[in-house]
Amino acid sequence: MSKTISDLESRHPEVLFVSASTSDPYPSILVDPRTGVSTWSYKGAQLQGSVNGTAILIGTRHDHLLSSVKDRGLLHAIATPNHDRFYAKAVLPGPIESMCATGDGTILFAAIRNQIFVWSLLSGELLCAFEAHYQPIVRIDLSLDESLLVTAGKDGVLQVYVVVDLLDANRGDSTTSPIRKWTAHYMAITDLSLSLSPDSNLRIATVGLDRTASIHSVALNSCLLKITADRPLTACVLDQSESRIFIGTDVGNIAQISLYKTDSSTDLTLQTSDEKDCTVPIFNGHEEAITKLSLNGDGCLLASGDKSGKYCIWDIRSRQCLKVSTMSGPISALRFVRNSAAFWAKNYEVSGHRPNLALERTITDSATISLYQKVDVDDKQGYFDGVMGQILERYKYGIPTSSKSNGSANLMSPAAANKLNAAEVSKNFQSAQEYQEEQRMSKKSKKRLQKKLNRQALFQLSKPPGKVDEVVIVSDEENEKNEGKELNEGNERQEQSNEQLNRTVSDSSQNESQEIAALKAEITRLKSINAELYKFGLERITQNSQ
């Protein structure tokens, strides 16, 4: 079953997540970009007739959906598997304008009016809350490595915060300061997009109602490019290679700008209504203001959504609209996401944690924060574990290892390591039993054996030396002599048992030292084999280069 799931996920790695601000059923859906067919949908019964706000998928495999309510301070959490009935609701200080979460879904960042709230979805603790802007916040987002939080507001200010600073022990301090702050626009910022480069040089693209778009560098603390358009700009997205930027306008046009053809200029002008301009490709298919733009993983598909609820999937190279559909409200979320088995597998079980929406209103004063430990599994590690298991198995049964065979190591595969020669095992079975018995003799077992021998000695000491057929009355002197004799005999027996125990312990220690020496010799042998393999590979590379 798991193999089939992984095959399907790798065959169709991406789906398009679409969410609309509407009170009608099914406000959030997943769309197959190849066919345009909806593969999963959220009915929205938990909204109880309220208008859906923004929505995000959380968890490494998108096990849960977080959906806010527009103009109301409510947040809903729903399990994405259709057979899973998990549901939770939280009451917030106000309606959420924008939100994002860490990749594992443990920490939630929410923008409410002009404030930033940070909650732990493991414990519900409020980790941080502060005023970030003078006017309501429009968008927030996390960098690829989740180390930086970027905020943009209607005051035209763009700010960058370090996530660790928001989660430190002094998170009750209300004077949280950003590491970068720019007045990027003179009017309200409408959208932002972050570069996906893994290095620390984060670049941020923003658009605003002042008809400008800008790209800022966090490392250089400067504006790299300023674009002036003929219309107010409402949406933007950077591709993964940071070679192109797509900009949406208030009349539905989408412009594609190549960042490699700017001739080192920091200022550009853009005519979005000029369809004859061949230098700037224009995508025409919308009649209302563009609200969201998204690119797929390889950068060949563009998804766009507008204020009327219409969304399109474009082939970027030909600028052809592949799929068109509509929702019953403005598009509030649009993103290509991983095609997880949680959306369609019948027997899928949520492996991670459940989001705790018992969100607190006051900042926690505890010295520690509840976090989720992420465990990565490396499939390649299985081979090396098999080789080490083979070596230990051979030593366990006393089977000698051949050091070399025709200049190469005589190592079995992990599968063959579990199929040792039955004749060799039976031949060395007796020594294997002895070895196992010695290994099981720990310090605690030795102490237990010592106590047992002492009890036996005391029992033998209290026992009469022989069977007495009749009662004999002896004097006190003779009685003292007999007791002294029995005591001496008991002490001698105890000393003999102690000597026997010491010999056993010394033999065990000697065997353990021999095993350690044998393991050291085996490690030395493996090192020599690795050196020979390295030398052989180096010679082959040298021969090929010549």
What confidence tens digit (pLDDT) does each residue in 294-334 have?
999 889 999 999 999 999 999 999 999 999 999 999 999 99
Question: Is the separation of the CB atoms in 58 and 66 below 8 Å?
Answer: yes
The domain of 146 spans 2-343
In a domain, 262, yes or no: yes
CA dist list (Å): 446 to 455, 504, 506, 507: 14, 10, 12, 13
Can you give the pLDDT at residue 3? 46
In a domain, 372, yes or no: no
DSSP states of 437-451 = HHHH--HHHHHHHHH
151 with 246, same domain: the answer is: yes
In the numeric block, which tokens belong to residue 191?
């959208």
Q: Which residues pair with 18 in a beta bridge?
A: 29, 334
* Nearest CA among 429, 449, 433 for reference residue 502: 449
121 with 172, same domain: the answer is: yes
Q: Which residues have C-beta within 8 Å of that of residue 375, sequence separation ≥ 6?
A: none
In a domain, 351, yes or no: no
Can you give the pLDDT at residue 518? 80
Among 289, 317, 343, which residue terminates a domain?
Answer: 343
176 with 313, same domain: the answer is: yes
CA dist list (Å): 420 to 145, 403, 424, 428: 46, 17, 8, 12
In a domain, 363, yes or no: no
Number of domains in the chain: 2
Q: In this structure, are strands 253-258 and 14-20 parallel, antiparallel, or unpaired?
A: unpaired
Q: Rounded to an integer, what distance in angstroms lies between the CA atom of residue 193 and that of residue 100?
A: 13
Question: Is the separation of the CB atoms in 201 and 216 below 8 Å?
Answer: no
Q: Rounded to an integer, what distance in angstroms lies between the CA atom of residue 323 and that of residue 60?
A: 28
Count how many residues are written for the chain.
Answer: 546
Residue 363 carries which DSSP code?
B
Q: Rounded to an integer, what distance in angstroms lies between the CA atom of residue 192 and that of residue 108?
A: 19
434 with 324, same domain: the answer is: no
Q: Rounded to 5 degrees, what are φ and ψ at 438?
A: -70, -35
74 with 208, same domain: the answer is: yes
327 with 419, same domain: the answer is: no
395 with 322, same domain: the answer is: no
Cα radius of gyration rounded to whole Å, the chain:
36
In a domain, 348, yes or no: no
Question: Is the separation of the CB atoms in 282 and 272 below 8 Å?
Answer: yes
Question: Is the separation of the CB atoms in 94 and 73 below 8 Å?
Answer: yes
193 with 336, same domain: the answer is: yes
Residue 45 carries which DSSP code?
G
Q: Which residues pair with 99 in a beta bridge?
A: 110
Chain-centre distance for alpha carbon 266? 38
144 with 256, same domain: the answer is: yes
Q: Rounded to an integer, what distance in angstroms lies between the CA atom of residue 61 and that of residue 23?
A: 27
400 with 324, same domain: the answer is: no
For residue 399, what is the enclosing H or E element?
A: none
Look at residue 320 and give its three-state secondary structure: strand
Among 277, 312, 343, which residue terminates a domain?
Answer: 343
User: Which residues of the chain, if any, have pLDDT below 50?
Assistant: 1-3, 5, 7-8, 10, 375-381, 383, 400-430, 432, 463, 465-475
In the block, which residue shows the tokens 């594992």? 104
Look at residue 282 and give its three-state secondary structure: strand
In the numeric block, which tokens belong to residue 344?
């369609």
Q: Which residues pair with 229 in a beta bridge?
A: 270
∠ CA(49), CA(235), CA(148), 5° rounding?
90
In a domain, 298, yes or no: yes
312 with 394, same domain: the answer is: no
Can you give the pLDDT at residue 344? 85
108 with 166, same domain: the answer is: yes
Can you give the pLDDT at residue 414? 41
DSSP states of 439-503 = HH--HHHHHHHHHHHHHHHHHHHHS-SS--SS-----HHHHHHHHHHHHHHHHHHHHHHHHHHHH
Question: Is the separation of the CB atoms in 413 and 387 below 8 Å?
Answer: no
For residue 247, what is the enclosing H or E element?
A: strand 244-249
Among 312, 343, 374, which residue terminates a domain?
Answer: 343
What's 43's domain CATH number? Answer: 2.130.10.10
In a domain, 375, yes or no: no
Alpha helix (H) ranges present in 313-396? 381-396
Can you give the pLDDT at residue 311? 97
* Nearest CA among 464, 48, 82 for reference residue 67: 48
In a domain, 25, yes or no: yes
Question: Is the separation of the CB atoms in 247 and 262 below 8 Å?
Answer: no
